[in-house]
Structure 1
Amino acid sequence: MEHDGVRADSADTDDEVFAMSESTREISAEEVCVLIPTLEEAATIGGVIDGFYAEGYSNVVVADGGSDDDTREIASERGAEVFVQSGDGKGQAVREALEYIEVPYVLMLDGDGTYDPADADRMVEPLSRGYEHVIGNRFADMDEDAMKALNGVGNRLINRSFRFVHGADYEDILSGYRAFTVDSFERLSLDSDGFTIETELAVECVKHGVDTTVVPISYSARPEDSETNLHPIKDGGTILLALYSLAKTNNPLFYFGSLGVSSILAGGVIASYVLWRWLQYQQGHEILALASAAAILLGVQLLMFGVLSDMLVTLHREQRRRLEQITRDARERDEK
């Protein structure tokens, strides 16, 4: 697990960690693009942009989702580069914005004033040591009124589900404060359009072996005149569903195994009912018996498919690691 530069995912070898520390180089603010997806953030966007200017980050891009207030005008007046996304949703805005960014590093956050620009250097620093993706942990220093009780319960449930399903502890996968390299982002297969973009980023980092770390950040309550675009129950359910759906390619044994076990249990319940009716009333239910047998057979097949898929995924990851190692070795030889 990582804190303030300590890895959140396990290193493959000690040599890999050593190699990362050896590659340390200072990253200048000019190499970092501050990306701020917005929607109706006129009350806060000006202060957010000014905060990053004060920290020395002058390359600010605002990806607006078609705000009806003065979000774009305020951002432009502050000197940020502003564009209106062609589609809908935060995920689509982030993917589109990456097409315009010409620097190697991105610092992404929401424009609602809950994240502190003073944490920018802390977020970017791990990238200088070879990490490719950094997640800001809001729970490390959160204002008491920054998150409602229901939201807090939902966040912890989602983080535990992520650890169980995807096998990595990123502490706060729903955090909107991220720093990452453009190269690592381009390796990910992202298609989320809405607020599930953070969830998909976390899953893809595990799936593609992106070196990820977690750092503590501060998290403040939204200003009173700033309204949230999130709906806790609806969006929470959507995120949990996305976590489960994304397990199809990242943890197929869990995905297909859970479906298989459910099918076997359903078949078993039906078979038990058929047997009880026969023993109790000597009444047969041929159709139900056939349905139970089909459900059990389907469940067994799904379990077998999950095992085979998991073997293929494991082999694919091993091959990818070997290819990446060959690429690194070749690059080192060329540099010498």
Structure 2
Amino acid sequence: MPDRTDVCVLIPTLEEAATVGEVVSGFRNAGFEDVFVIDGGSDDDTRSIADANGARVRTQSGTGKGQAVREALEYVEKPYVLMADGDGTYCPEDADVMLEPLFDGRAEHVIGDRFADMEPGAMTRLNRVGNRLINRLFGTVHGRYLRDILSGYRAFTRDSFERFRLEADGFGIETELAAECVRHGVDTEVVPIRYLARPESSETNLRPLADGGRIVLTLYALAKTNNPIFYFGSVAAFGTLAGVSVAGFVAYRYFVVGISHEVLALLAAFLVLLSVQLLMFGFLTDVLVSVNREQTRRLEGLDDRLEGLDDRLEGLDDRLDDLED
């Protein structure tokens, strides 16, 4: 049975001197020996405070939370990773509920639901509304409602993480993780956690409008491989609307005013035909994606069987060695 010695607590930080010491010591006191802080080049005492409280510390080579997480996993040797922010908003006491689905084998990726028990003032009304909209949009685009895809409190197996193709450098990393879980069919579980208000002495690195916009764009871009019908269909719908609008203007000018607009008429026809082609391309791509997922699942199942066969052969070799002795 796995335990906390098999877990690396990963904490990405940037200018978190006011809170990182308490966060690190909280996880250390909870029995986690491997607490890894990867810092984005803070100008304050974040790194020295984390080190003084027992964390191993590394400065990331690039910028952004997404890049930090990808780089950090290159230095993680434990089979399980518990990821939390360094701002003191997540409770080390919730580690058990986060890790239980992994240890029991029920899931490979766990998301902490902040909305299950949110402290008053922990999230502004704007952020709360934005989170709700993004979660609903994710459910529509990717076909699975995960309640809180932007949560920074995650637990996952290193093996599942290595199957992901992650490219986001900033706060879009949480959206990418959720989308990759859906795309690869990774067993994902959402568990209730407590979400605390950020201490007044600590300033947030999140810019609601700018980062929210990037997250929405990331979510939409990921639909190209996860839900091609939605991705190409939305473009086709916009093109059809534009084409019909131009055609309506041309018809009005011709029948009411008596002036023809041949070039605009050609443009309207082009937009409608292009939209139809995009929709057809979306359906074809969706078929290819479905076939690819099925083949990937079969290959992964075959790989698991081969690993089991290797284990049996090793056990047989050991028995033969014992008999020879």
Q: Work out the CA distance in 2 between the residues paired with 1:140 and 1:214.
A: 10
CA contact (8 A) 2:25 2:54 kept: no
Unaligned runs of 5+ in 1: 1-25
Instruction: Work out which of the residue numbers 173, 179, 197 in structure 2 matches 1:203.
Output: 179
Answering whether residue 14 of structure 2 is matched by residue 39 of structure 1, we say yes
Q: Give the CA deviation at 1:318.
A: 1.1
Cross-structure match for 2:281: 305
Alpha-carbon distance, 1:335 to partner: 4.6
* 3-state DSSP of counterpart to 1:68: coil
In structure 2, the partner of 1:98 is 73
Q: Hey, what's the Cα distance between the residues in 2 that align with 1:27 and 1:149?
A: 40
Pairwise CA distance, 1:129:
2.3
- The separation in 1 between residues aligned to 2:4 and 2:50, in whole angstroms, is 19
Larger relative contact order (CA 8 Å, sep ≥ 6): 1
Are 2:93 and 1:129 equivalent residues in the alignment?
no
**Sequence identity (%):** 63
Name the Cα RMSD after superposition: 1.0
Which residue of structure 2 aligns with residue 3 of structure 1? Answer: none
1:132, 1:211 within 8 Å by CA — same for their partners in 2?
A: yes
The answer (yes or no) to whether the contact 1:27–1:125 under 8 Å persists in 2 is no
What is the identity, as a one-letter code, of the residue corresponding to 1:191? E
The 8 Å contact of residues 133 and 212 in structure 1, kept in 2 or not, is answered as yes
Query: Do the aligned residues in 1 keep the contact of 2:83 with 2:152 (CA within 8 Å)?
Result: yes
Q: d(CA) in 1 for partners of 2:32 and 2:147?
A: 27
1:118 aligns with 2:93: yes
**Alpha-carbon distance between aligned partners in 1 of 2:252 and 2:2, rounded to the nearest angstrom:** 71
> d(CA) in 2 for partners of 1:333 and 1:170?
36
> Residue 170 of structure 2 is aligned with which of 182, 187, 194?
194
Q: Could you tell me which amino acid in structure 1 is paired with residue 23 of structure 2?
A: V
Task: Name the counterpart of 2:196.
Answer: 220
Q: Indicate yes or no: 2:60 matched with 1:69.
A: no
Q: Which amino acid counterpart does residue 175 of structure 1 have in structure 2?
A: S
Does the Cα contact within 8 Å between 1:134 and 1:180 map onto a contact in 2? yes
Partner of 2:258: 282
> How far apart, CA to CA, are the structure 1 residues paired with 2:162 and 2:77?
13
Q: Could you report, residue by residue, the CA deviation over 1:241-289 in whole angstroms, capped at 9, with x for unpaired residues?
A: 1111110111111000110111111101101110111110221001101
Within the candidate set 107, 116, 119, 1:143 is matched to: 119
Deviation at 1:292, TM superposition (A): 0.5
- The two structures have a TM-score, normalised by structure 2, of 0.94
User: What does residue range 13-28 of structure 1 map to in structure 2 within 5 Å?
Assistant: 26-28=1-3
Give me the whole-angstrom Cα distance separating, in 2, the residues matched to 1:97 and 1:330.
30
CA distance in 1, matches of 2:298, 2:72: 32
Instruction: Kindly indicate whether residue 55 of structure 2 is the aligned counterpart of residue 83 of structure 1.
Output: no
Q: Give the Cα–Cα distance (whole angstroms) in 1 for the partners of residues 96 and 21 of structure 2.
A: 20
Superposed CA deviations along residues 68-99 of structure 1, whole A, max 9, x for unmatched, are 11000101111211010000000000000000
**Deviation of 1:332 (Å):** 4.0
- Partner Cα separation in structure 2 for residue 211 and residue 232 of structure 1: 30
Q: Deviations over 1:130-177 (max 9, x none)?
A: 211110000111101101111100000000000000011111000000
In the alignment, the residues of structure 2 paired with residue 250 and residue 123 of structure 1 have an alpha-carbon distance, to the nearest angstrom, of: 26
What's the offset of the Cα at 1:180?
0.6
* Matched residues, number: 311
Inter-partner Cα distance in structure 1 for 2:74 and 2:309 = 32
Q: Structure 1: how far apart are the matches of 2:310 and 2:217?
A: 46
Tell me which residue corresponds to 2:29.
54
Distance 1:238 1:274 in 2: 37
What is the one-letter code of the residue matched to 1:95? R
Q: Which one has a bigger Cα radius of gyration?
A: 2
Find the counterpart in structure 2 of residue 268 from structure 1: 244
Q: Is the 8 A contact 1:203 1:246 kept in 2?
A: yes
| Uncovered stretches (5+) of structure 2, i.e. residues with no partner | 313-325
Give the Cα separation in 1 of the matches to 2:232 and 2:3: 46
- Candidates 279, 287, 293, aligned match of 1:317: 293
CA distance, structure 1, for counterparts of residue 63 and residue 302 of structure 2: 40
Task: Check if 1:328 corresponds to 2:304.
Answer: yes
| Per-residue deviation, 1:323 | 1.9
Q: Once the 2 structures are TM-superposed, how far is the Cα of residue 326 of structure 1 from its aligned partner?
A: 2.5
Shift of 1:235: 1.1
Query: What SS does structure 1 have at the residue aligned with 2:110?
Result: strand
1:246 counterpart letter in structure 2 = L
> SS of the residue aligned with 1:99?
helix
Instruction: Output the CA distance in 1 between the equivalents of 2:302 and 2:15.
Output: 47
Task: Please give the secondary structure, in 2, of the residue aligned with 1:203.
Answer: helix
Quick check: 2:9–2:36 contact (8 Å CA) kept in 1? yes
Determine if the alignment matches structure 1 residue 171 to structure 2 residue 171. no
Checking the alignment, whether the CA contact within 8 Å between 1:174 and 1:198 is kept in structure 2 is yes
Contact kept in structure 2, 1:189 and 1:204, CA below 8 Å? yes
TM-score, L = length of structure 1: 0.91
Distance 1:244 1:155 in 2: 15
